[in-house]
Structures are given as C-alpha cells and as structure tokens.
Amino acid sequence: MINKNKVTTKYITEKYLDKRFEEQTKAILEAVDFSLQKYLKNIDTRFDDVDAKFENIDTRFDDVDAKFENIDTRFDDVDAKFENIDTRFDIVNTRFNNIDTRLDKLEAELKSDINNVQTLIDGYVKAQEDFKQEFVIMKEEIRQIKAVFKQKLGVDIRAF
C-alpha cells in the first residue's frame, strides 16, 4: 500500500478480484436462492392444490369403479337369467324334436294306411267294374235268348 496524502491505495490483484467476485457470487446466489425458495414454496402450494384435486378425482374414480362393479354384478345376474332361458329353450327344442320324430312316424304309418285303403278301394272298384261288365254281357245274352225264344217259340218274355 502506498500512502500519499494520507490516502490508502491498495493494489488490485487477481486474488483480490477472485475473493471479491466470490463474495459477490455468494451474495447473488443467496439472493437468488432466497427468491427461488419463495417461488418454490408458492409452486409447492400450487402443486399441493393440484394433488388435492387429483386425490378428489381418484375418489371420484373409486366411486365410478364401485358403480361399475355394481353394474357388473347386475350383468352377472342378467347373464345367469339368460343361461336359464337358454336351458329352457334347449328343453323346448328337445321336446319339439321329439314331437317332430313322432309326427314323422305317424305320417309314415298314415301313408301306409292310406296306401292299404287305396289298394282295397282299387280292388273294390275293379270288382265293381268286372261285375258291371259281366252284367252288360249277361244283359246282352238274355236279350239274345229272348230274341231266340220269340223267333223260334213265339214266346215274348217280359218283366211285369
């Protein structure tokens, strides 16, 4: 240090500047850190509000999940009822199949019976036709016999 007119002069060295810059940097960093802490507290409270809202949403989703579980149990009941209906339809279908089988058997028996009746009727009609033809032949023969009796014997044969 040089003293001129009672003024103290200090030499500025690199060490001196480093020390001063370090002190200023620390002061600036402390001020920035203090400001950031204040903002971080504000941000933390904001995030706490957001977290509370998410927790509220989570409880709402829990309520929705519970409602869906309730709906699922209702659908389980509906599914059970449909399975019961399916079982009933299977029973009805089996009964209809049995009825169809019996109707097919009855139809076959009825066709057989109709064929037998048709054969009997055909036989009866044939017999009647044969009888009619014989009757026509006999009528003609009797007419010829009457004609011979009238011509040869002079006797006219008539019905009352």
Q: Answer whether 0.85 is exceeded by the pTM.
A: no
pLDDT exceeds 80 at position 101: yes
For the stretch 10-52, pLDDT in tens is 677 888 888 888 888 888 888 888 888 878 877 777 777 777 7
Distance (Å, whole) CA 32 – CA 25: 10
Counts of helices then strands in the chain (DSSP H, E): 1, 2
What is the amino acid identity at position 140?
A: E
132, part of any domain = yes
Token representation of residue 112:
């057989």
Furthest CA-CA distance within the chain: 209
Domain membership flag for residue 65: yes
The mean per-residue pLDDT over the stretch 123-148 comes to 92
Identify the domain containing residue 129 by its residue range.
10-153
Note whether residue 105 is domain-resident. Answer: yes
Number of domains in the chain: 1
- Written as six digits, the tokens of 91 are 């029973």
Question: Is residue 160 a part of any domain in this protein?
Answer: no
Q: Does 1 reside within a domain?
A: no
Examine residue 159 and state whether it is found in any structural domain, yes or no: no
- Asked if the structure places residue 158 within a domain, the reply is no
Residue 130 lies in a domain: yes
